[in-house]
A and B are shown apart, each in its own frame.
Chain A
Amino acid sequence: MPVLSQYWFDLPDFRGNTEFLSQPHPAGGWAWINWADTGGKRSTLVWEREDRELVVDLVPLANAPDVLAAVDGMIHDPVSRTSGIRAGWIPWKYVPFHETDPGRHGDLDLLVHLAFDIHVHTPWYCSDADGNINYYVVAYLDGSGHLGAYVDWWSWHFDGGGPFCTGAIADGLNTAVPGGVPALQAILDSRLALFSGRVFDLLYLLPGSGDRSGVGSVNVNDHCSLAVLPR
């Protein structure tokens, strides 16, 4: 039975806290969604989802033990990971410093945003710093309908480390974060190998776990799923 899913976002361009409702319905019949109050929402999406849809929830995948071990291997003392890995979506126009390469993607092309928080210990003459490390992944189908993904962009941000350690922290992150790309790509490739024998007609992202019934809420910046239609 097909499913009509509707998503309401707190922010324009389909970002932030998201409320959703999915309604299965007979093919050729109406799907009814009554929603008492959509006040305060700034954008909405509707998707008619086919029976053959396959959904992969990216947050559990990103927090598998081997993935966490690989991520922890990218960063070293005095930097430590202080959160799980978030896996949301982000429109290209909101990726930090995207303006340095504006034609790389369309403004509303969706990248998978992998992010985690960090803490940086410092000597006595500085405050400790807290921040985050971010990787931006393009999921795609090639001309033959095979699923692929590649790490396309990285960023970091921190607060603290003053008054003297911000430079050393920035230098460390400028080495560690791009240095982690090959390991992350290797993880992606190992997961994609599970799909190597399959061909797909369509690829899209869904907020949260891609639930096919009921209501819920999720922050799409932190949690999304990949959906494909097998050929």
Chain B
Amino acid sequence: MADTEPTGKAMTLDGIAKMIQECLAKAGIDAEVTRLSPHEVLVHKQQVEVQGKQAKIAAFVTTREVMPTNAKAVTSAISQARHAIVSQKPSLGARSAAAFGRAVTGAAFETAAPTERQDGG
């Protein structure tokens, strides 16, 4: 690395990827750099021969942990306005209810206090 190149915290994902690509190039491997997202970059070569065998190379540089699930409220003006005019919606929350039974251990389940049914669902 030349003295003028940034190091440590000053390096960018693209900068690190370029360094890896240059290292591979010195070994005669013409790898590609693909920017997967604003937070991820991949240096890769699908087919390369290593000691007479076919190999694949992939070097992944990322600044985040990805969760494979997400959820959010819809916050558009239309949904907000409609939320405000709801008079009745399906619910099982206001109902005549009881829970009973006996667990394997012999402890009784909690019994809910009966309530008036107010609406449907």
Contacts and interface: CB of A to CB of B under 8 A. Distances in A.
Given A108-B91, A170-B67, A152 B83 contact: yes
Interface residues of A, number: 59
A20 interface: no
Given A110-B90, A141-B88, A203-B89, A170 B70 contact: yes
Interface in A133-169: 134, 138-143, 148, 150-159, 161, 163-168
Interface in B28-69: 34, 36-40, 42, 44, 46, 56, 58, 60, 62, 64, 66-69
B37 A203 contact: no
Contact of A182 (B42, B76, B87): B76
B102 interface: no
A32 interface: no
B60 A97 contact: no
B106 interface: no
A170 B68 CA distance: 7
B69 A181 contact: no
Nearest to B42: A164
Contact of A142 (B40, B73, B85): B85
B1 interface: no
B66 A170 contact: yes
B60 A163 contact: yes
Interface of A: 13-14, 45, 89, 91, 95-97, 100-101, 104-110, 123-125, 131, 134, 138-143, 148, 150-159, 161, 163-168, 170-171, 173-174, 178, 181-182, 185, 202-205, 227
18 contacts: A97-B71, A104-B73, A109-B90, A109-B92, A110-B91, A125-B42, A140-B82, A140-B86, A140-B87, A152-B73, A154-B74, A156-B71, A161-B68, A167-B64, A202-B120, A203-B119, A204-B121, A205-B121
